[in-house]
Structure 1
Amino acid sequence: MTNAKAILLFAGAFGYNVLAAQTTLPLTDLSFFKSPGSTWKLAGDVKGDLEKNGVLTLTPGTGVLANITDFNNPGQDLVSNMQHGDVDLELDYMMAKGSNSGIYLQGRYEIQLLDSWGVVNPKAGDNGGIYERWNEGKPEGQKGYEGHAPRQNASRAPGLWQHIKISFQAPRVNSNGLKLEGAKILRVELNGVSIQENVELSGPTRGALGNDEVASGPLRLQGDHGSVAFRNIKLTTYDKPRPELIDLKYKVYKGKFETQPDFKKLPPDAEGSSVILSSNISKLENEFTIVYTGTLRVKEAGDYNFNLSLLAGRGSMTINNNVAVNVGQQRGRGKVTLPAGDLPFQLIYSKIFDFAKPALGLAIAGPGIREYLISDANVASGDPIDPILINAPVNTILRSFMDVDTVRVTHAVNVGSPSEVNYTYDLDKGMIVQAWRGRFLDATPMWHSRGDGSSRPSGSLLKFGKPIMALQTLSSPTASWSFDTAGTGYRPKGYILDASDRPTFRYQIYNAMVNDVTRIMDKNEGLHREISVVGAVPNLYMRLAEGFKIETSAENLYLVNDKSYYLRIDDSGTGKAIIRDSNGHKELLVPVQSKISYSILF
């Protein structure tokens, strides 16, 4: 690709193994795109405006692609020179307030980008939705059809960076252009939350470059509905032919083989040929071995990754007379460099345990090849667990352990709301340690089997750093913030509930009583927190935020961690906020007399 740096990536992408060419667009110029319109610009940074529709302000430089539009200059779409088929796309984007854009795979299938801040029940036209198809011949109100809403709203506020991952499978067409299989959105992950999965599309969505379906097409960014910015654009393409298994034969041996015998010297109990690897060719449930032999036809030389699962058994796989995977118990992985050509293949599956039904699965990933099953779908799935999910149709509180990065918060209070804005409060520190938008909790690790006492947020998560005391006295504004409660006299006093079951947390510190109230903001924009201190405490400060970057956006409004969230100081009394350096990070502090209130907007 023009002005693009190609590298090899071997990692997990959306649950798939990847061994493919990845391209990162440097965004030092616009040569990747065809005839970019005047509204598309390069910038070093960009900033939104929470109050004004359509406003993004650019800082000179490169690395950010921005579309700056208004009613007089609505802009046009940006179309790539490159053509893609199967692809994984990953990027950051920022919506201006009230703005609308979209990502069109192959120029035909749109993932909607929209300022959907605060929406509780998103539709197909909201952020992360798969946009509707369209038929002008239908009656009014029925023209749009087959749109797919995101599972939940994981969107952030305008002017904040959002992160999206899209895994797309192109339609399958023959040499005459006849569609054999529809396009699929395998997965969309927005801000760390899976919002679309395994969605087959019957045809192009509204506004497509064409209604025909093709093996490859351009990447297209919508530019005629509002200001939007992009950065860190990465594409991983899968355009190489898959290996095939041919001349596949099998032999079945009855018996429990703790060690592998020389099967060439044993008479099989059954044998034959097969079109696919499967455990179903054996009529036995336990104590048997299947030996498959055949040819693996490799069309593209390179490194291949194999994932072999043999439920309740063990075995091995050999390719080109070399062991590719050994399975000591149920599962094994291997990476092998293979030449192009027809290579001898052997797979052995010994079913020796009786705790599960037979299942054999083999998946392959290779250069330019997304991981795929080369066996049937009767694959070992381990110990499937139905997740134990807790929704919050009303204000809901659940006590649990909560893991915040490497720290286990043992006295966590999780507060959920029907507005789908939720947070975790650490009773040991008087700190909100995280907040999230979307569904409430996954309590599977706490309640499945014996459990470990912990739960997990189910939505788009925002972390506020290592749990640490929210209030402390400092000898000066530059004094270090302590990581423990020694000398503070800290005593948690639990919480009381109001008539709507919303908590007010209470604790003692420095012989003063603190009331800590957090409420969901109007329009579900985030959290509003008010702390009041009953009793005089000299030189008392509150640590409002910590991160690798804190910048001023407007008066009393701050952007934290490279525009991950806004923090707005609503009432600090006579105290003035301080941004200071601390061990390579930034801290936002404010002196506290009797009361302080601030909002976290995300």
Structure 2
Amino acid sequence: MAKYVLFLAAIWVTACTTDPLEVREIETRETAPTDDLEAVEVNPSTEGWTTAEDGLTASAPATLELLPAQEALTVSFSYRAGADTRATLLLGNRFPLELTTMDLPGAEEKRSTVTSAPGVWRDVEIAYLPARGEEPPLLVSAYLNNNLVYYQQPLAGETGGTEGPLTLEVTEGTISIANLRSSERAGRGSSITSTGEVALNLPLIRYAYYHINGNPDRIDNWATLTPEKEGYISRFDLDGIREKGNAYAIRFAAEVDIPKAGEYRFRIASPSSTRLYIDDQVVVDMESRDSGNNGEGKIQLSEGPHRVRLDHYQFSNWNHLKVRYAFEDGAFNSFSDIPEDRAVATPMSGTVREIATDDRPYLLRSFMNFPPVRVYDFTEKRTHVISVGEADGPHYSYDLHNGSLLQMWRGKFVDVSDMWNGRGEPQVARALGAVVAFDGHPQWSTDTDEWPDSIAELRHLRYDLDESGRPTFHYDLEGSAVSDRIVPDATGLTRTLTNTGEGTSLLTQLASGRDIRETGPGTFEVQGPGVSLEVTELAAGGLRIYRGEGVSRLVAELPAGEQLTYHINF
């Protein structure tokens, strides 16, 4: 009996002395998606810069050469700045892009204005093409926190000339730099995936668009035609270029980087005239009006760059062009087209149909493309999304299917033009502000080793509205009742997660990102997306960080009858 009493006392002492804010780290097999950007080592001995665990740090005045002079580039990095920091990125060492505001002298209006709390990490990605002949340098795209700021922006200045290095100048305050990666092309290229598959992608496609008169059988005088317009695009997107339903032609030209030598098969679906060339060799010939709607060809390709040209003459009324590839005997995949079986993030165009918000929360059920990705990247159509907006924000989008907080933003609420105008595809709502997005994985789990990408046992039951109109979401997970309440304030969102079941501890996710670091008891900073978190209530259970390759998750164990409250600052 005495031994039993001592055993219970030991358990009681352990329970009383265990700090629920103590963090346990768990290694997982989860791997972040790969791309063609390569890590860049920056000289840590550069004057004025010091090396820390999370990157390089400097106070003004300081200068850092990020990359040497290149013909074209895509560069991405993370930075953390104070409220008074002023830092300029010099493209080609002559075009100043102010990092904290993304202001660019002479540029058109920014497509989005991204605001972040001082001291949180921000992600920048820029694709830049230097001057070619009489064409000025081109800022192909600029993203801040994965929000498009500039797209196809010509840069004012002299054409030609010598390009300088990519340089960062700090004139006020302090800045930290981390995760510098780059490629010598303007846009994302081909790669070998983490599963060993060949993933072909054209980083940038040059196009020339022509109006065709007289309804000829074919176009055999391309060299004598005068284009109506020329430019760059990232996919074979007829709708993104054409100005009428038929009687037009487009010549696409690009360079594909083949990551693995071998036989490549190409397949084209088009009711009009289309020819695909690689290194000036015809691979798929559908030039004749008698070619039918489908064509296929194959070619042996060595590792490295190869020229691609696609000539398309639209004589029919069906604007349809699908281009696919297969490596060796593998399955066919999209070759920089607009596939029918996957959602693609297209540029916002046309008239915005805004849902305005006031002090009473507005709840909108919709489809939504998620995650928010670069223009023309693949995304997913989430079908059970509810977006909650009030006043100027913060607003947020929430997946009712798996209970995850998808994204949050300030400013205007949502654009529903794709939902309510014409009732056609894609029927999605779009956030009108610059979003901060997580990865959309399930909110709850019972798996202690790996975080799931789906959870069939989680069932949405209902949501209740309080007196102010804010919702609390209710779920059932294997017989345990859980709830989720999100309240916006001036600095971000406060979230309360409750396990109202009996007897069963559950796991719930606070945040996911490229990296998560503990900065103090119950406080954390997240990279990719850049937010800071503070756990304000957790009486029992405990915190864990699941660390995979390029992905981290902050998770809490929530015993039955307990609740967790934390604040997201962004």
If the TM-score is normalised by the length of the shorter chain, which range does it land in?
Answer: 0.5 to 0.7
The change in CA–CA distance for 1:318 and 1:539 in structure 2 (over 3 A counts) is: closer
Whichever residue aligns with residue 177 of structure 2, its letter is: A
- Which residue matches 1:93? 79
Whichever residue aligns with residue 471 of structure 2, its letter is: T
Whether the 8 Å contact between 1:528 and 1:597 is mirrored in structure 2 is yes
The change in CA–CA distance for 1:435 and 1:254 in structure 2 (over 3 A counts) is: closer
Deviation at 1:92, TM superposition (A): 2.9
Whether the 8 Å contact between 1:87 and 1:236 is mirrored in structure 2 is yes
Cα deviation per residue 1:118-165 (whole Å; 9 max; x = unaligned)?
Answer: xxxxxxxx1x221x4xxxxxxxxxxxxx46563323354444443222
- Which residue matches 2:180? 232
Whether 1:199 aligns to 2:125 is no
Whichever residue aligns with residue 323 of structure 1, its letter is: V
The change in CA–CA distance for 1:404 and 1:99 in structure 2 (over 3 A counts) is: same
Paired with 2:279 and 2:141, the residues of 1 have a C-alpha distance of 35
Paired with 1:383 and 1:188, the residues of 2 have a C-alpha distance of 13
- Which residue matches 1:505? 472
Cα deviation per residue 1:154-192 (whole Å; 9 max; x = unaligned)?
Answer: 35444444322222333467xxxxxx5544323212222
- Which residue matches 2:198? none
> How do residues 529-568 of structure 1 correspond to structure 2 at under 5 angstroms?
529-530=495-496, 537=502, 543-545=508-510, 547=512, 550-560=516-526, 564-568=530-534
- Which residue matches 1:9? none
Whichever residue aligns with residue 92 of structure 2, its letter is: Q
Paired with 2:436 and 2:136, the residues of 1 have a C-alpha distance of 33
The change in CA–CA distance for 1:431 and 1:323 in structure 2 (over 3 A counts) is: closer
Paired with 2:83 and 2:351, the residues of 1 have a C-alpha distance of 36
Whether the 8 Å contact between 2:480 and 2:504 is mirrored in structure 1 is no
Whether 1:219 aligns to 2:166 is yes
Cα deviation per residue 1:258-308 (whole Å; 9 max; x = unaligned)?
Answer: xxxxxxxxxxxx99895446699xxxx999999x9xxxxx9x9x98x9x99
Whichever residue aligns with residue 492 of structure 1, its letter is: L
The change in CA–CA distance for 1:391 and 1:147 in structure 2 (over 3 A counts) is: farther
Of 542, 566, 570, 1:598 maps to: 566
Q: What is the aligned-residue RMSD (CA, Å)? A: 5.9
Deviation at 1:423, TM superposition (A): 1.8
Whichever residue aligns with residue 113 of structure 1, its letter is: L
Paired with 2:436 and 2:444, the residues of 1 have a C-alpha distance of 21
Deviation at 1:217, TM superposition (A): 1.7
The change in CA–CA distance for 1:334 and 1:496 in structure 2 (over 3 A counts) is: farther
Paired with 2:309 and 2:64, the residues of 1 have a C-alpha distance of 49
Whichever residue aligns with residue 143 of structure 2, its letter is: E
Whether the 8 Å contact between 2:482 and 2:501 is mirrored in structure 1 is no
Q: Which runs of 5+ in 1 are unaligned?
A: 1-11, 14-21, 31-35, 47-63, 115-125, 133-145, 174-179, 205-211, 239-243, 245-250, 258-269, 293-297, 360-381
Whichever residue aligns with residue 127 of structure 2, its letter is: S
Deviation at 1:530, TM superposition (A): 3.5
- Which residue matches 1:152? 112
Identity fraction in percent: 16
Whether the 8 Å contact between 1:159 and 1:563 is mirrored in structure 2 is no
The change in CA–CA distance for 1:550 and 1:94 in structure 2 (over 3 A counts) is: closer
Of 88, 94, 98, 1:112 maps to: 98
Greater CA drift, 326-335 or 542-551: 326-335
Whether 1:164 aligns to 2:120 is no
Deviation at 1:557, TM superposition (A): 0.9
Whichever residue aligns with residue 545 of structure 1, its letter is: L
Paired with 1:479 and 1:308, the residues of 2 have a C-alpha distance of 39
Whether the 8 Å contact between 2:130 and 2:137 is mirrored in structure 1 is yes
Of 386, 390, 409, 1:413 maps to: 386
Deviation at 1:464, TM superposition (A): 5.0
> How do residues 126-141 of structure 1 correspond to structure 2 at under 5 angstroms?
126=101, 128-130=102-104, 132=105
- Which residue matches 2:234? none
Paired with 1:410 and 1:317, the residues of 2 have a C-alpha distance of 36
> How do residues 301-340 of structure 1 correspond to structure 2 at under 5 angstroms?
313-316=272-275, 322-327=281-286, 329=293
Return the structure number with greater relative CO, CA threshold 8 A, min gap 6.
2
Whether 1:353 aligns to 2:316 is yes
Whichever residue aligns with residue 496 of structure 1, its letter is: L
Whether the 8 Å contact between 1:546 and 1:588 is mirrored in structure 2 is no
- Which residue matches 1:577? 542
- Which residue matches 1:263? none
The change in CA–CA distance for 1:150 and 1:223 in structure 2 (over 3 A counts) is: same
Paired with 2:297 and 2:141, the residues of 1 have a C-alpha distance of 24
- Which residue matches 2:141? 187
Point out the structure with max Rg over C-alpha.
Answer: 1
Q: Which runs of 5+ in 2 are unaligned?
A: 1-33, 187-205, 207-211, 230-243, 259-263, 287-291, 322-345, 372-378
2:165 is paired with a residue of what secondary structure? strand
Paired with 2:175 and 2:297, the residues of 1 have a C-alpha distance of 46
- Which residue matches 2:190? none
Whichever residue aligns with residue 130 of structure 2, its letter is: A
Paired with 2:544 and 2:412, the residues of 1 have a C-alpha distance of 33
Deviation at 1:399, TM superposition (A): 0.6
2:162 is paired with a residue of what secondary structure? coil
The change in CA–CA distance for 1:492 and 1:187 in structure 2 (over 3 A counts) is: same
Whichever residue aligns with residue 575 of structure 1, its letter is: A
Deviation at 1:330, TM superposition (A): 9.9
The change in CA–CA distance for 1:515 and 1:110 in structure 2 (over 3 A counts) is: same
Deviation at 1:355, TM superposition (A): 5.4
Whether 1:588 aligns to 2:553 is no
Deviation at 1:82, TM superposition (A): 2.9
Whether the 8 Å contact between 2:78 and 2:122 is mirrored in structure 1 is yes
